[in-house]
Structure 1
Amino acid sequence: MRDTRSRTQAQARTKAARETAARWGALAILGLVATFAWASLTRADGHETIIKSHGFSFYGDLTYPEDFPHFDYVNPDAPKGGEISLGTVGTFDSLNPYSRKGRGAGLSSVMYESLLGEGVNATPAPADVYAEYYGLLAERIEYDEGKNWVIFHMRPEARFSTGDPVTAHDIYFSHNLLLDQGLKSYGDAVRKRIPKVEVLDDHRIKFYFTEGISRRSLIDQVGFVPAWSKKWYEETGARLDESRLTTSPGSGPYMLDSFDVNRRVVYKRNPDYWGNDLPINVGRNNFDTIRIEYFGDAEAAFQGFLAGEFTYRTESDSKKWATGYDTPKVNNGTIVQRELRDGTPPTPSGIVFNLKSPVFEDRRVREAVSLAYNFEWTNASLQYSLFKPRASFSQDTPVMATGVPEGAELAFLENLGDIVPPEMLTQEARMPHTSNEARLFDRRNARTAMALLDKAGWAVGDDGIRRKDGQTLKINFLFNSSSPDTLSGAMENFVSNVEKLGIDITLEKVDPSQYTSRERDRDYDLVFDSYPAILGVGTGFRQFFGSEASAFSLFNPAGLASPMVDAIIEAALAAANREEENTAVMALDRALRHEVIMIPLWYKPNHWVAYYDMYEFPDVLPAYGLGQLDFWWYNEEKAAALKASGALR
């Protein structure tokens, strides 16, 4: 599960390395981290090296030593108290986020912890290092040098919110519950990799890994299984694959307080949380309550924020960011509008092609449709020139593929043989086309697109519509009606350009519930969706990009099934060191762009945030975590002043 959550971070402890991280992102300094934090190396029978540690990273390098007092970036003296409230658009009808059925409420996984620690809503913790994981429910881990097995030594003091202990039996139960009642793609993948799990005693559990497979994402895979209460599931008869408005007890710092379906959900900090004083938690989990307010559309949510119905907002709409905050509350300082550093590569969002749709089996059709998107006009006319065009799955990082492959990357691709198209070895990495900023419909790109469609056999009829073998070139574009107005406008203009190519395209705006259901069933030709940013190697790549799960994986909206991509993934998983890993990731980025699985749109380099002036955070944020729900805190005096002024209820 961790692979689906994986974010990119890195930072060493020296000043020079921190400056490098700020500029280059996660992988730029991975090779510089040379602090090994293994607790011990001992020889067992058969000369097997056993590693015992307070944390895990694939290469064994841990930034934080065993006796670390807290993460570097937190305020260890941050006060506890107050509330942070967020707004969201849409609906929910379930408090179980692990099922395909129903729409889970926001943050409904926040109550559950795992053996290894992470932040609220599966954000990184720590947020200043790459792919380093430290014990939470587990106080230490033990594994052989070949990573054929791992033993987690659990903290005996860990408790569910009911007061019941969290034991190895709960972890064993949770692991199997995910296999039997979780996502099929997850269960299929994990069964092949983890053939045996053994409870050694109440606080020790051992996972065995299949021989002859990559050791990537095995230990962290099992380390991030949510810990659910075996007792509760057995007593209630509840299932993981059902939609329900009940929750099992969790062991995390927050637990469900109240909810009103489709209106709000509130989580409160557990005053008896067992892990309050752990170094991994110092300076974190600071708010007494986290409240989420639901709205019918983006404009209602924005107006709700300005009215004080909720108090924190991450902005994604460029029009609102440029003009919407010119209000009395912002001008008098009641609401703070800020851009904060974002060191993560942008999420690869865009218009995704359903490669299982017959019309998009031909790459030339995908390329033609891509040419209908005009970034330059959209950015200048709708987005106040605030965005940059996104090209890569590893945008603005050292592993972003650029130019013609050379050196280690070229050798890597050549070693894959004939499955790599010859042009990939001699041509520059695919980049977004450029368009005329002054005209929405770029005639030069349109001529190229029309020529591609002609070559693909889609001829224009007398009515201006393209047909082949008597069939109309018709596509549907699934779109969430609750999306921001600016995004909606951009997609409408894209559709207008597609129509001018002679394509019968329908922009289907559906409510969030229908959108979720149809997206799960892959009932679309085009969909606005995203893939994860890529900077490190993980076996989750098989669910995101691999052929085996392409027919049903919820994480692969394009349904990509490419022998070339499969081969790159397998080779990447076999990388022996960071240099080989970086080479493989660069090749994967190049290959995914070559496959034309989506039309990349835009990105912004910073977080856009607005909040009522009662929240504070460290002077220096970690490069790879905004942390508003994790390590920000509440200033009671400022909050009281806002309430006294009438700005907040």
Structure 2
Amino acid sequence: MTSGIRKTLLKCAMALALCGAMTGVQAEPQHGIAMYGKPALPPDFVSLPYANPDAPKGGRIIFGEPGGFDSLNPYILKGNAPWGLGLHTVETLMARSIDEPFTLYGLLAETVETDDSRSWVEFTLRPEARFSDGSPVTIEDVMWSYETLGTKGHPRYRTAWLKVARMEQTGPRSVRFTFTEPDRELALLMGMRPILKKAQWEGKVFEDAALEVPIGSGPYVVDSFEPGRYITFRRNPDYWGQDLPINRGRNNFDEIRYDYFGDGDVVFQAFTAGETTTYRETNAQKWATQYDFAAIRTGEVVKSEIPHHRPSGIAGLVMNTRNPIFADWRVREAMILAFNFEFINTTLNGGTEPRITSYFSNSVLGMDHGPAQGKVLELLAPFADQLPPGTIEGYNLPVGKPDRAIDRGNLRKAARLLQEAGWQVQGGRLVNDKGEPFTFEILLTSGATETHSIVDIYLKSLESLGIFPQVTIVDSAQYKERTNEYQFDMTWYTRALSLSPGNEQFLYWGSKGVTEPGSRNWMGMNSPAAEAMIRTMLESRSQEDFIAATKALDRILTAGRYVIPVWFSNVSRIAHSSRLHYPDRIPLYGDWPGFQPEVWWYEE
């Protein structure tokens, strides 16, 4: 089968997965809820289709992480909390299936109810739901958690909370949210907020980063930790939800441990030395050439490639348009032209990885690389005079020379654009009409070896244009603080995107993030057109309209030239102990949060 046929079949399969019978949701309690159509699993499902309900319990899995942590509150902007804390110890009303684009099934909630227009949603708690200290999860805990996160928590919670007109208790175990505006995703988002124990936080300042272990209702509890060094989670033998169908075959390890190391290279060395038991490799060439250590040869460690059908997302060097030199799209295009992707990919990956061509590429949601047509054109037309060149006409990334670091042809194009934007070379340096040099800072985190290698090659091309950036390397805590406050000119940027983009897109690209700290709008874009596309996505009642709006948004983002994109992979490469196993059935999203370690298990 040719790659073209495979790609076509993949898009068709994804379109079918995304689509569903557009039947109205009746206002009666349901076991689950889908963004479009009905949940794939019936009310009496036995387990998630990608979980092994017969997986044995026991053993442990050890992850290695770069950097460290100084907080145990992952729900606020301040501090740096360990990745697994919220994932393993705290639960939400509903749980996501990573085998469907956007479908939730009851977890803390036994039912969900909404009207056809989704102007409100109501959840009913399971009577048996308990926190790890044995106390019941109550509607009071739920309502306090939602209001606290929405008003004092991380900015990622505020967008949806601001669209809640009213939150009210409707029964001993029921809560209803009524919304201020049309937004079909809100009924699902309200099922995905972490539920915390209200009594634990009485008399305390929620916004302060602290090392107090939060009380959650999840399958694990924090066993021990040392800030910046490790944190260990122990499976709770009294976990209230262990027999729920949504949990069968999940949460199988007795212990989950995260060890922290100085940088990414040390994390890999610790894995080869047997100090950790799993390692996710992001470099294709390293995967092919550097996995010949002793544990591989003896069979103690095995290599697994796990396919996925996710969009490519975006990864690369982002330009902060809050800095005036990057406010001009011609300058940003020149920066992209100076980046010889083909040579860098050949040097670091052996040329094996495909380039990210748009934010939603590799999926049915990705833009078409030609003139906008049909519904996409209709959506973009009212904003035509605001959009950078290529948004409607079609935009493609430049192609460089794989056999040389400096691509003279693309650099000449870059020089012309810079000159049009008011920059010219004098005395070997690029300056403006006032003689001020074109200079900026590239902020990187320590230990990111591959990123440093990419930037080192890129700097040589920039020097040919008379540009000499300053490279600043900081630790993970400083990096988080500076990026939260947008105190950088260019930095490494990664955003994973799903098959069900929604309200989080405002956090990624919305105008509030230009000034409000902690958003993911690192590029500082302020685009009424982009926000209009997001609103259309949220209000769409047909899959056709939703896909058209997402394709239009993809064009705005890509032609905005905010990020110099690198590569993506349609497989996850995980090296792991031969005692660690995962099911044969791989979900739609592949290796995504909800897969490792949730459905993995330990077996001799």
Give the shorter-chain TM-score range: over 0.9
Show CA shifts across 1:247-272 (max 9, x none).
22100001111012211110011110
CA distance in 2, matches of 1:102, 1:339: 34
Q: Check if 1:521 corresponds to 2:485.
A: yes
User: After superposition, where does 1:363-374 map in structure 2 within 5 Å?
Assistant: 363-374=329-340
The letter of the residue matching 2:532 is A
CA distance in 2, matches of 1:411, 1:154: 44
- Tell me which residue corresponds to 2:470: 506
- Tell me which residue corresponds to 2:112: 141
Q: Check if 1:218 corresponds to 2:186.
A: yes
- Tell me which residue corresponds to 1:3: none
**Do the aligned partners of residues 206 and 90 (structure 1) sit closer, same or farther apart at CA in structure 2, a change above 3 Å counting?**
same
Picking from 47, 52, 55, the partner of 1:78 is 55
- Tell me which residue corresponds to 1:630: 598
- Tell me which residue corresponds to 1:172: 143
Picking from 541, 548, 555, the partner of 2:512 is 548
**Do the aligned partners of residues 305 and 597 (structure 1) sit closer, same or farther apart at CA in structure 2, a change above 3 Å counting?**
same
Structure 2 unpaired stretches of 5+: 1-5
Picking from 585, 605, 608, the partner of 2:550 is 585
Deviation beyond 6 Å, 4+ runs, structure 1: 19-22, 35-38
**Do the aligned partners of residues 230 and 196 (structure 1) sit closer, same or farther apart at CA in structure 2, a change above 3 Å counting?**
same
Deviation at 1:599, TM superposition (A): 0.7
Partner SS state of residue 231, structure 2: strand
- Tell me which residue corresponds to 2:3: none
**Do the aligned partners of residues 343 and 27 (structure 1) sit closer, same or farther apart at CA in structure 2, a change above 3 Å counting?**
closer
- Tell me which residue corresponds to 1:647: none
User: After superposition, where does 1:354-369 map in structure 2 within 5 Å?
Assistant: 354-369=320-335
- Tell me which residue corresponds to 1:494: 458
**Do the aligned partners of residues 546 and 319 (structure 1) sit closer, same or farther apart at CA in structure 2, a change above 3 Å counting?**
same
Task: Judge conservation of contact 2:388–2:559 (CA < 8 Å) in 1.
Answer: no
Show CA shifts across 1:292-348 (max 9, x none).
111112222111111110101111133431222111211221110122212222231
Task: Judge conservation of contact 1:616–1:633 (CA < 8 Å) in 2.
Answer: yes
Task: Judge conservation of contact 1:37–1:65 (CA < 8 Å) in 2.
Answer: no
- Tell me which residue corresponds to 1:229: 197
The letter of the residue matching 1:523 is Q
Q: Check if 1:432 corresponds to 2:419.
A: no
User: After superposition, where does 1:190-339 map in structure 2 within 5 Å?
Assistant: 190-210=160-180, 213-234=181-202, 237-339=203-305
Picking from 21, 30, 35, the partner of 1:53 is 30
Q: 457-466 or 296-305: which moved more?
A: 457-466
Deviation at 1:157, TM superposition (A): 0.3
Deviation at 1:352, TM superposition (A): 0.6
Task: Judge conservation of contact 1:543–1:550 (CA < 8 Å) in 2.
Answer: no
Deviation at 1:613, TM superposition (A): 0.6
Partner SS state of residue 114, structure 2: strand
Q: Check if 1:477 corresponds to 2:442.
A: yes
**Do the aligned partners of residues 417 and 438 (structure 1) sit closer, same or farther apart at CA in structure 2, a change above 3 Å counting?**
closer
Deviation at 1:354, TM superposition (A): 0.5
User: After superposition, where does 1:79-118 map in structure 2 within 5 Å?
Assistant: 79-110=56-87, 111-117=89-95
Picking from 13, 28, 31, the partner of 2:15 is 28
Partner SS state of residue 602, structure 1: coil
Q: Check if 1:450 corresponds to 2:415.
A: yes
Show CA shifts across 1:94-123 (max 9, x none).
111122222112312121101111xxxxxx
**Do the aligned partners of residues 455 and 185 (structure 1) sit closer, same or farther apart at CA in structure 2, a change above 3 Å counting?**
same
Task: Judge conservation of contact 1:171–1:228 (CA < 8 Å) in 2.
Answer: yes
CA distance in 2, matches of 1:85, 1:381: 32
CA distance in 2, matches of 1:607, 1:184: 30
Q: Check if 1:413 corresponds to 2:380.
A: yes
Q: Check if 1:67 corresponds to 2:33.
A: no
Task: Judge conservation of contact 1:33–1:61 (CA < 8 Å) in 2.
Answer: yes
Would you say how many aligned residue pairs link Structure 1 and Structure 2? 593
Deviation at 1:32, TM superposition (A): 5.0
Partner SS state of residue 234, structure 2: strand
Partner SS state of residue 69, structure 1: coil
Task: Judge conservation of contact 1:102–1:243 (CA < 8 Å) in 2.
Answer: yes
The letter of the residue matching 1:144 is D
**Percent same amino acid among aligned pairs?**
35
Deviation at 1:185, TM superposition (A): 6.1
Partner SS state of residue 513, structure 1: helix
Q: 89-98 or 319-328: which moved more?
A: 319-328
Partner SS state of residue 225, structure 1: coil
Deviation at 1:623, TM superposition (A): 2.6
Picking from 134, 138, 155, the partner of 1:163 is 134
- TM-score normalized by the length of structure 2: 0.94
Q: 550-559 or 591-600: which moved more?
A: 550-559
Partner SS state of residue 483, structure 2: helix
The letter of the residue matching 1:611 is H
CA RMSD of aligned residues (A): 2.1
The letter of the residue matching 2:545 is E
Task: Judge conservation of contact 1:25–1:397 (CA < 8 Å) in 2.
Answer: no
Deviation at 1:466, TM superposition (A): 2.3
